Amino acid sequence: MTIDRVIKKFIDNNPTSDPEILRLAYDFAAEAHRGQFRKSGEPYIIHPLYVAYLLAEMKADLATITAGILHDVPEDTERTLEDLKKEFGTEVANLVKGITKLGKIKYRGLERYRENLKKMFLAMAMDVRVIFIKFCDRLHNMRTLDYLPEEKQQRIAKETLEIYAPIAGILGIWRLKWQLEDLCFKYLYPEEYHKLEYEYEVEQKAERNDFFNTIKKNITPILKDQKIQNEIEVRFKHLYSIYQKMKSKDRRFDEIYDVFALRIIVQDVNDCYKVLGIIHTIWKPRPNRFKDYIAVPKPNGYRSLHTTVFGPEGKPVEFQIRTKEMHEESIYGLAAHWHYKAKRQESTDHQPAWIKEIIDIQKEFSNTNDFVHKIQLDVFHNRIFVLSPKGDAIELPEGATTIDYAYAIHTKVGNSAVRAIVNEKICRLDQELKNSDVVEIITEKNKIHPNKDWLKFVKTKRARDAIKQHAKKSPFESIKKYIPGIRNK
């Protein structure tokens, strides 16, 4: 991978933009990472370049690709976020900051799955582009997983399969989801993976190609006659989804007929339905296998017509019919959406509700702080997420203080809290927390009772209840009823 390839890819999608900043970022990152190497033995800079390239492929904007090149600089080199801000401006620095923060979140098994999802959303609320950089970072790390010790391979593959791949699905970035899943599959179930791969790549390849050529020969002349401009591509289901299907339906590989699909990409929605009609006149449709995701898109915004017909030799074949725009969206998800948005205003009706909300809000606010605040209110319903120094995300109501956080961790931590450190700075216990603050509570072993004054500022029921309860139990509380004059105060 070279910076020239990254720049070329970017120019392909943005012919009028000036890519100079990419070269500057490269010089900066290459210098910062000088002398560092990946486990593969390659110079470290190859990794961020790959990430930037993947981002350019997804048609990310200039700031995102720049941040991709710089994404490991603050964490792994002498250069700081401040340096990045000076050299490349606030937008790029903030994206890198988001990545660095996301990197601090640790994975601790399936039971934290939901929590981790939330963490990703938290990052997204700050800027969705952060998630795209993180995904590309993960994809390249998965592709170079061979060089890590086996234990680490397993952990990373599991984390990717349980967290990253589903989120890619939620965001509608199918290509990324498939790539990640197949890579995970290879590391988590090597035997099954290699068996399927062999059947798929070796045993059935020639036969399969013949079959699809026959279909193409049948349909292409008719489409030409009808003057329907089209591209046809053969789409294979990715190995992991075949494996899952075989497992859930207890079938053999050659019994899974919708492993392959023919994708027909046309100019407009009208042509989609025309092509559907043509297919159904050539081959008999299988009952109950027609889905109109154009009229009724999937919840994640996916649009296409799907139909399965009895093709040549009576073998079932799935067709997916869609416009070019739908096609790009299905590959790049939200990223494609931005690309189109930049080109022209278009309806966002087929986006999932919460993504639509985020996009709408993002449009409304140019100022990032306002944006984050609005997201808090509208999407997260007045909840904030703060992080423990170990990377656990703690959900709190807006306005919560360090004491609420302490009690959210554990009653003991709350009771014995004496000081709080927020984002590496010592602060007051009544300090209000903001989204993505990193909070640490200093406790004192001998202090086992909370301060009643805390009731004046805590926001959570949990903290309030605990403080009241312990205040009752305090020796002073229990003796004061015997002290005349205090009791009725």
Summarize as ranges the residues that interact with Mn ion (CB under 5 A).
72, 137
Q: Tell me the closest approach of the beta carbon of residue 350 to Mn ion, in angstroms.
A: 33
Closest CB to Mn ion among residues 127, 271? 127
Residue in 73, 78, 69 with CA at minimum distance from that of residue 22: 69
Residue 60, φ and ψ in degrees, nearest 5: -70, 160
Give the HSE-up count for residue 63: Cα atoms under 13 Å, Cβ half-sphere: 16
Helix (H) or strand (E) holding 27: helix 20-32
Closest CB to Mn ion among residues 19, 74? 74
Q: Is 225 a catalytic residue?
A: no
Q: Tell me the closest approach of the beta carbon of residue 138 to Mn ion, in angstroms.
A: 8
DSSP one-letter string for 307-365:
EEEE-GGG-EEEEEEEEHHHHHHHHHTHHHHHHHHHHS----TTS-HHHHHHHHHHHH-
Q: b vs e for 324-337, b when ≥16 Cβ sit within 10 Å of the residue's Cβ?
A: ebbbbbbbbbbbbb
Q: Tell me the closest approach of the beta carbon of residue 245 to Mn ion, in angstroms.
A: 33
**How far is Cα 289 from Cα 302, in angstroms, rounded to an integer?**
17
Q: Tell me the closest approach of the beta carbon of residue 71 to Mn ion, in angstroms.
A: 6
Closest CB to Mn ion among residues 129, 303? 129
What the block records as the tokens of 118 is 């939330």
Closest CB to Mn ion among residues 57, 137? 137
User: Which residue of the set 42, 76, 83, 392 is catalytic?
Assistant: 76
**How far is Cα 141 from Cα 103, in angstroms, rounded to an integer?**
13
Q: Is 151 a catalytic residue?
A: no
Closest CB to Mn ion among residues 22, 408? 22
User: Which residue of the set 27, 31, 75, 346 is catalytic?
Assistant: 75
**How far is Cα 33 from Cα 69, in angstroms, rounded to an integer?**
11
Closest CB to Mn ion among residues 80, 226? 80
Beta bridge partners of 284: 310
What the block records as the tokens of 77 is 């080199």
Q: Tell me the closest approach of the beta carbon of residue 144 to Mn ion, in angstroms.
A: 10
Q: Tell me the closest approach of the beta carbon of residue 419 to Mn ion, in angstroms.
A: 34
Helix (H) or strand (E) holding 387: strand 383-387
**How far is Cα 322 from Cα 226, in angstroms, rounded to an integer?**
17
Q: Which residues are catalytic?
A: 75-76
